[in-house]
Structure formats: structure tokens, C-alpha cells
Amino acid sequence: MPLSIATWNINSVRLRMPLVERLLNEYAPDVLCLQETKCPDDQFPSAAFRKLGYEHIAIHGQKGYHGVATVARRPLEIVEKRRFCEIDDSRHLSVRFDVGGKKVTAHNFYVPAGGDEPDPEINAKFRHKLDFIAEMNAIPAAHDETSASVLVGDLNIAPLEHDVWSHKQLLNVVSHTPVETENFEAMRKAGGWVDLMRLNVPDDQKIYTWWSYRAKDWAISNRGRRLDHVWSSANLAPQLTGIEILSAARGWDRPSDHVPVIARFDLD
């Protein structure tokens, strides 16, 4: 039973709905997890998704900021819209669906960016980010013979040396500082999550999913970071058939600064 799950920080779903339509028409993932949708639930473009065959929609949005949504071609059950750090941001949504004889729980995350100054004592946004990652320890990769878990989204941390264009130059830049990367990897491992994007890609090979809007020619400079992630419980990892990073989408008309990532599985 094939299963494909895509994740994409779309940076305003209403503004970039033509890009979403292109993705769904050309790649047709079974499940699409969007972050930074930037719209309240009652203004989410549900009709456009249903027209494309994605009739099952779960949303956790707010006006102007943040927001996550999961759409699918198969029935979804909303499991949780978790509140983190006692702040009413829409940054998490989990759903459950049946596929290949398993109940799969899919967590969709938008982790805080953290501001510019990597010092929690003077930057409340960075403190929030570190506290958010700490609270993610409460979400393990639950699984058994009939269930599995997936965690995807814009996690806003590039944890490994070759997840950024220059490890040395970015050590003091938010998203790649040691306090972020060490806590992030400790949280992932403690939860039993498998980093699927690195499962078959050596740690010394560059992987990027984000290129700054500030770069005049992002493709030539190629100063990217891997801020978007796909994790799974251990029982799904052997069934991964491939990861596709759609880097070309960074060059689409009026693009997001993130690109879609698609994970494909073949479930028994």
C-alpha cells in the first residue's frame, strides 16, 4: 500500500494557493501538511482543496500569523491541537488516518523562528523557541503492531553541520546555534523519532529546504538551510521508499522561501 506525505511552509496559503494547486496536480501526495497558513479557520480555502480531490481537511489557524493545516485524499480524524508554552499560537495539529493496516498519527508542526539574537536572556522569542522544543519531548513516536507515527513540518532548526551552507559562519545564527541543535537532537532521539531525510543520505552531504528571500539569486549562491523535517516512528522507517525535496519550487512564481518535501512509503 503506497503512502506519500508532503510538508510545506507555504507562507500564506491564500496568497500562494496557485502554487499549492501546482504541487497537488503534479505530485499528488496522499497527505499534505502546510505550515504558516496565516488565516483563520473560516477563511481557509477548503473549496479549492476539495475541487482538487482533497476532501478531508483539518485546520488550526489564526489571523495573519502562524497556522497549520493537513489535507488528504483519505479520511482524517483530528487527534489534537496542542497549545505550547501557554501561548495561543496555532503551531501544532495532529491527525490520524488508516493505511496499510495501520493507524498512522501525523503531527504537523510550525516551531517558532526565534528572532535574531541567540540569547534567551535578552530575546523573548529565542526563549520561547527553546521552551517550545523542550515541550516537544511530550510527543513521542508512539507505535505498535497496528499503529505508527509521523512528525513533519517547519521545525526552524538545521541540526547537523551539513544542514547549512556554512557550519562555521552560522554557529551564532539562530536556527543553527549549539543550544538549539543539541536540544533538538536530544528531543528527537529521546522521543524515538527517526530522521527520515538523513536515513539514506550521509551526514556529510548537504540538504537544504529553505533559501532566504534576501538572496538576489538563491540558486547560484545556494546558501540554504534544512529547516523542514520528516520524522517517523521506528516501525515506519524500513518502509520508506524515498524522500523528494522539490528545490525547483523555490523558483516558482511568487514562491515561499521554503520548498515542499515529500516522503513516500510502501506499507505492508
Q: Do residues 247 and 259 lie in contact, with contact meaning Cβ atoms separated by under 8 Å?
A: yes
* 154 is known as an active-site residue: yes
3-class DSSP state of 131: helix
203 is in an annotated binding site: no
Q: Which of 30, 154, 195, 228 is catalytic?
A: 154
Per DSSP, 134 falls in state: H
**Which residues, listed in sequence order, are joined to residue 108 by a DSSP beta bridge?**
93, 152
Three-state SS across the chain? CEEEEEEEECCCCCCCHHHHHHHHHHHCCCEEEEECCCCCHHHCCHHHHHHCCCCEEEEECCCCCCCEEEEECCCCEEEECCCECCECCCCEEEEEEEECCEEEEEEEEECCCCCCCCCCCCCHHHHHHHHHHHHHHHCCCCCECCEEEEEEEECCCCCCHHHECCHHHHCCCCCCCHHHHHHHHHHHHHCCCEEHHHCCCCCCCCCCCEECCCCCCHHHHCCEECCEEEEECCCCHHHEEEEEECHHHHHCCCCCCECCEEEEEECC
Q: Of the listed 107, 110, 163, 208, which one is catalytic?
A: 110
The response to whether 156 counts as a known ligand-binding position is: yes
Active site residue 268: no
Residues 6+ apart with CB under 8 A from 168: none
Q: Does the annotation flag 21 for ligand binding?
A: no
Is 36 among the annotated ligand-binding positions? yes
Is 137 annotated as contributing to ligand binding?
A: no
C-alpha cell at 74: 483519505
Give the C-alpha separation, 219 to 134, whole Å.
Answer: 34
Annotated binding site: which residue ranges? 9, 36, 154, 156, 257-258
Annotated binding site for Mg(2+): which residue ranges? 9, 36, 154, 156, 257-258
**Which residues participate in catalysis according to the annotation?**
110, 154, 258
